[in-house]
Amino acid sequence: MRLNEKAVIRKSILDLCNTGLPRQESTDDVIRKIREKNGSQKEENLWEYIVALGAQLSRPPFDPYREKIKLTTKIGRKGDQKISLKIPILIYGEFDLSQSSKDALNLTLNDLDDDRSTVGLISKDEPCDERKYPHFQILDDINKLADPDGIVLKYTGAKTEEKIEKIRKEFDGPILVEVDEDFSQYVESLLELGIDGILVNTENITKSKRYNGKHAIAVIHDARLAINEFYRGKENDGACLVVAGDVNNAGKMIKAAGLGADIIGYDTSLLIAKVGHHSENFFDEEITAQKIFNHMIATKSELTGIPAALGYSDFHNMSPGDFRTSSIKASVQGDIPLEGVDKTYRNIVEEILDEYVNTKNISVNQQERQKIINLVIEEEN
């Protein structure tokens, strides 16, 4: 954060102390206007409008250095075939890595497993013989199934459902399906076939016609809702939501988890880029592996620290209610309460409409009510 942005926050605090009145304009909006003026922010990033609430008196914070904060996540709906991740991350990317990068990544993942900090890998490559970590194979041709722990299929319509039925006859491990922007229309069918979870790449889906102009948080919210709708009235037997794309740091990972992500798909190229740039003439696999290892351990620490500060001993206990936002768009797209009122924008619209209908003694059925609410919300979204 720049000095002029810090000055905005200090001024808002002083104004509140002097006047005793809440600010008329969100500090988030003021800072964004500064960034837009400086040309440092080309598009609206709703992640920055979302903040976490600290633990309340009824839910005191945990000390992650003294108390165990659970990150372990299991993938799979079958009891004996579940894959266990000690950090809820799957390294994932749709591109070809150099052999040196692959070797460095393999070293890192093995070291993380030895450290009881296991993460998984999603790739098109056949599983490495010397690996200790879980490997998910991106499978385009079911006849080229290697020996992975899990499988990732891309949804391509009815053909994908046929593939799942065939694969299930010879493969008992977890199957994840990477879905497109129309996932809400077919997630139920996929779960009925026994898949173990869906993967949403928010960067790809937000470029689609259906999600044009919307943020990653809308995709995560809708994907979680689609899974929950399938399990309405019954307990989830292990179907998970993997979120990849615009979740490239610990802060976004935490917020994504609060919105419903079970596992984060960490972009492989970004992970390697974060540990330093390497020229083509020099690439030390062991040094790179150690840097990636250190980065992942630091990420693990952040992923335990924030839930602990929220008063949770389990990473997966977070929910949208643990966050607040100053953005109506973020509230609508992620179903997140607005700061200061502790209600989502939808809740506020519903209350105003119900009060108006009751006061005017107007007869409105449930279908008409929802249509009005959706029209008002769409105008702000």
pLDDT for the residue 97: 76
The answer to whether 344 and 337 have CB atoms below 8 angstroms apart is yes
Mean pLDDT of 202-231: 95
Q: Tokens 């372990």, residue?
A: 72
Interval 334-364: pLDDT, tens:
999 999 888 999 999 999 999 998 998 888 8
- Whether 337 and 49 have beta carbons less than 8 Å apart is answered as no
Handedness of CA 190, 192, 197, 202 (dihedral sign): positive
What domains can be seen in the chain, in order of their start residue? Answer: 1-42 (no CATH), 73-320 (3.20.20.70), 343-381 (no CATH)
The dihedral of CA 318, 319, 321, 324: what is its sign?
positive
Give residue 130's pLDDT.
Answer: 86
Per the structure block, which two tokens stand in for 120? 């998984």
Burial 151-167 (b: 16+ CB within 10 A, else e): bbbbbeeeebbebbeeb
Q: Is the dihedral of CA 331, 335, 339, 340 positive or negative?
A: positive
pLDDT at 281 over 60: no
Give the DSSP letter string of 110-144: HHHHHTT---EEEESSPPPTT--S-EEEE-S-GGG
- 135 vs 95, 121, 171, 326, CA distance in Å? 16, 5, 14, 40
The answer to whether 50 touches 255, Cβ cutoff 8 Å, is yes
Give the predicted TM-score (pTM) of the model: 0.85
pLDDT digits (tens, 9 = 90+) for 12-63: 666 656 665 555 566 556 656 665 666 544 457 899 999 999 887 778 898 8
- Least confident range from 9-23, 82-96, 261-275, 341-355: namely 9-23
